[in-house]
């Protein structure tokens, strides 16, 4: 293998690790940390604020790495002209989903007095329908992240089918 091939392996690896850290950390936040904090009846508020700040730093780093590596990988796949319309369409859906994730994260950060991943006052009320609660706030970011993983796998399948 030459240096360029090693570079592309490193880029894909960095992209995958960043995506896994963000989405995996978000799943841990939603299904483990936040429920445990809610059961603690406010005793963990200072800790949760500190955790939210650290998680924000992780997410910021992941966003930077994902943007840089995603641009490199996109150029690498599109430049030879070997992919078809279906690849470009799925790539467009992936990019739109990621852009929406970034927007939701940034929008939550610019709302006064909230941390990026933990805010009891902005959580949907308990009496709302489950689907509305599922599709709101940080839950939507996590769902979009899972969708992006699916679209990435689909892109890999389409690329391998078209070049293979």
Per-residue pLDDT of the chain (164 residues; tens, 9 = 90+): 899 999 999 999 999 999 999 999 999 998 898 888 888 876 788 888 899 899 999 999 999 999 999 999 999 988 888 788 999 999 999 999 999 998 888 887 766 544 444 444 444 455 556 666 667 778 899 999 999 999 999 999 998 888 76
Positive or negative, the CA dihedral 22, 24, 28, 30 is: positive
Look at residue 143 in the predicted model and tell me its pLDDT.
Answer: 92
In this predicted structure, what is the pLDDT of residue 129?
61
Number of domains in the chain: 1
Contact in structure between 108 and 55 (CB atoms under 8 Å): no
Q: Quick check: 22 and 59 in contact, CB under 8 A?
A: yes
Provide the total of helices (H) and of strands (E) in the chain, helices listed first.
6, 0
Domain assignment of residue 150, given as a range: 3-163
Q: What is the pLDDT of residue 114?
A: 41
Phi-psi sector, 19: left (phi>0), alpha (psi -120 to 50), beta = alpha
Give the pLDDT score at 139.
Answer: 87
């Amino acid at each position: 293998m030459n240096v360029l091939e090693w570079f592309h392996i490193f880029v894909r690896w960095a992209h995958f690790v960043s995506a896994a850290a963000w989405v995996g950390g978000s799943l841990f936040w939603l299904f483990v940390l936040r429920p445990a904090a809610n059961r603690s009846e406010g005793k963990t508020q200072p800790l949760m604020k500190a955790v939210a700040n650290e998680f924000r730093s992780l997410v910021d780093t992941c966003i930077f790495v994902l943007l840089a590596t995603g641009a490199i990988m996109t150029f690498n796949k599109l430049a030879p002209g070997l992919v078809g319309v279906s690849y470009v369409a799925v790539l467009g859906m992936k990019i739109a989903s990621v852009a929406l994730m970034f927007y939701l994260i940034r929008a939550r950060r610019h709302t006064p007095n909230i941390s990026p991943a933990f805010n009891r006052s902005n959580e949907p009320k308990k009496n709302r329908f489950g689907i509305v609660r599922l599709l709101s706030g940080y839950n939507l970011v996590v769902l979009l992240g899972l969708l992006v993983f699916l679209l990435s796998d689909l892109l890999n399948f389409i690329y391998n089918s078209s070049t293979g």
